[in-house]
Structure 1
Amino acid sequence: MPTLADFRFFRFIIPNTKNQFRMPAPFSNTVRKNMSNPVEVSTTNGQLWSISWVVEEEHPHRIVFTGGWRAFYEHYRLRIRNTMLFSYHQPKFLYVAIHDARYCEINYGRNLRNGSLPAIPAHGNYTVQFFAIIPVNDPDTLMLPLRFSRDYGRSLPRPLTLTTPTGHHHRVGWNMEPNGRIVLHGGWDAVREHYGLRDQWLVLFHYHEAQNTMYVMFFNGHTMEINYLAHAEPGTDSTCISYPTAPKSRHIADRFRSTNPFFVNPIVHRLPTRFLPNVPPLPGVYEDSPISITNERGAWTVQYTHYVGRTNECFGMGWCALATACQLRHGHVCVFERLAPQDYRLHIY
C-alpha cells in the first residue's frame, strides 16, 4: 500500500509520446476529478514543471499530459525504453525519477534541498535506485541489472535482506554469474508467493550503500504499486525497520512485540541534545518532514532531517523538548513504533 505518496506507478516511454503522455487507467479513474490542472511535476534534481492535462473521451478515460509535456520530454532527452517512476501527492504534486534503458535511475545532479519540495525516494536518501522485471516462467530467480551488480556486488551481504515499505524483512540468497550479474534465488520464490507477484511485474530497489540495506517495492501489471497490507498475515509481529548492533538495543528489539514496524535507538548523551543521530531511513517519509511522537507524557513534533557530515538521518528541531520532557539520559533505549508514515509511539527502556 502506498505510504506517504497516495499513488506510485511506472510509465514507459514508447513511440509517439513526445507531444502527449498517458497515465495508467487505474490512476486516472481515481484522481481525475480532484487532481489540480495544471499539475506540478518535480524531478529528483529539484526542478519544477507545470504540466496541463486532459481526459480522453473514449474508455477508459485516461489522463493525458499535454501542455508543457513536450518541453519536459526534450529537456530530459527522454528516449524510447526510458522509464519513469511517478509518486503522486494529492491534489497537486507528482514527483518523478527517470530510469535509463538498463533500468537504473539517471542522476541529473540531484539537489534535494531546492526549495521546500521533498525528494522522490520513498525511504529517504539512497545510493542507487533501479528496477527489475520479473521473468516469465521462472518463479525461483530474479536478475538484477548488470550495472548495479558490477558496481556494488562485492559489498552486498549474504543473504540479502529485502525490506518493504511496511518494514517487513525477507532474506534471499544470491549468486553472481560469470558475466558479473547478480541473481536472487533462495528465498525469492517465497517473496513472490507471499506478495502474489506475477510474471512481468516490476520490482523497484533502493540500495543504501552506507547501511548496506536494500528496500523494495512491487508494481503490478498496471504498473501500479501493490497493497502490501493485503498480503500481511493477521496478528503477526512486525520487525525492526533497521536492526540495531548494540547488545542492549538488540536485546530489546528481539523482545519487543508489535504488529507495527519499529526502530530502536539508544541514548548516548548524558544531557538532552538538539538532535537524535543515527535515525534509519523511515518508510514513507521524506527528508525535512515533521514527525509526530507520542507517549504517556505527551505529544511532540520533531523534524526528520539530514545531519550535515553524517550519512544517516536524525531527529532535529523539537527533539530537545521531547528529550527534556521524557527525562532521557545516557543508557536509556528508545523504541519508536510506527503507527502511520509520520506518526510514532515512543517506548523508553
Structure 2
Amino acid sequence: MPWRNAMLPIHFFKIILKTNLERLKIPNKFTEIFEGDLSNPIFIKPPDSTKWEVYWIKQNGEVWFEKGWKKFAQNYSLDYGNMVVFKYAGTSELDVIILGQSALEIDYTENLDQIDDDEPVSDQNARQKSLLLSPRPHKKMRSEEPTQRTSSLNLPKEAKAKEVAEKFISYSPFFTVSIKNVNLTKNYLCVPDLEGVIENKKKQVRLQNGKNSWNVNLLCRLGPTSTRRFCAGWNLFARENKLLPGDVCVFELLNKEDSVFKVHVYK
C-alpha cells in the first residue's frame, strides 16, 4: 500500500538476552505492517559490508528469525546487554548496527576505514560468507609445483610460536600466529604483510581445517605501513575450531588463485 512506503525507512531495536541468541522475535508492530513485504530469507547487513542470510518463521502470529540468526550472533559475539538496531527500507535487506554494554556502537572493522571496496559481493557469495563450507578441490599448475622449502613470512616473538615456525616444513608460503585472548573476544586477527602473496586489497579468503572450510574477510588499511586483518568470519572459525589463548596457528597457502589457506593448529 502507498501509505507503507511513506513510512520507510523504519528502525527497530532488540536487546540481546541469553534467550534470544539462537532465535530472535521481531516486534509485533513491525511485522503487522511489513510482514507481507519481507523476503524469506532476508539479508542482515552490518557495517562491515557482509550479508547474512537469515530465515524467519511465523508462530502464533509472531515472526521469529531462526535459521542463520545463531551463526550471525556467534560471529559478532553478541552477548547479554548488547543492542542491535535494525533499519528496514523496503528491500530484502536489514541494515544493522550493534551497540555494546557501554551504549556505544561496536566497531568490528577496528577502524580499518581505508579499504578497497571495488569488488561487489554477489548475493551468492554473500550467502556463503562465514558459513561452514565443504572445501573445493583445486589444482596446482605445473609451474606452481614446490621446488624449495619455505620459511615463515613472519618471525613470531612468542617462544612456542617461534619454535613451531622454525620446525614447520612446507614448500608453500605460510605465516605463524600465536592466539591471544583479544583474538577470541574481538572479531579480528592481525596477520603479517602478505605482499607478493595476496594482492593488497579487501578480499575473501578460505580457511581450511580438516574436511571443513570457512570464508573470512581479509581487510587492509593502506598508508605508509600496510595493516592486514582477518575480520568477518574469523570469530566463527575460532569458535568452531575451539581456539584458546596460547594456541599457535600456521596458515599455509594452498591455492593462491582462490586464496585458500590450510590452518594447522598447535595446542
Tell me the TM-score range normalised by the shorter chain.
0.3 to 0.5
Higher RCO structure, 1 or 2 (CA under 8 Å, sep 6+)? 2
Q: More helix by proportion, 1 or 2? A: 2
TM-score relative to the length of structure 1: 0.33
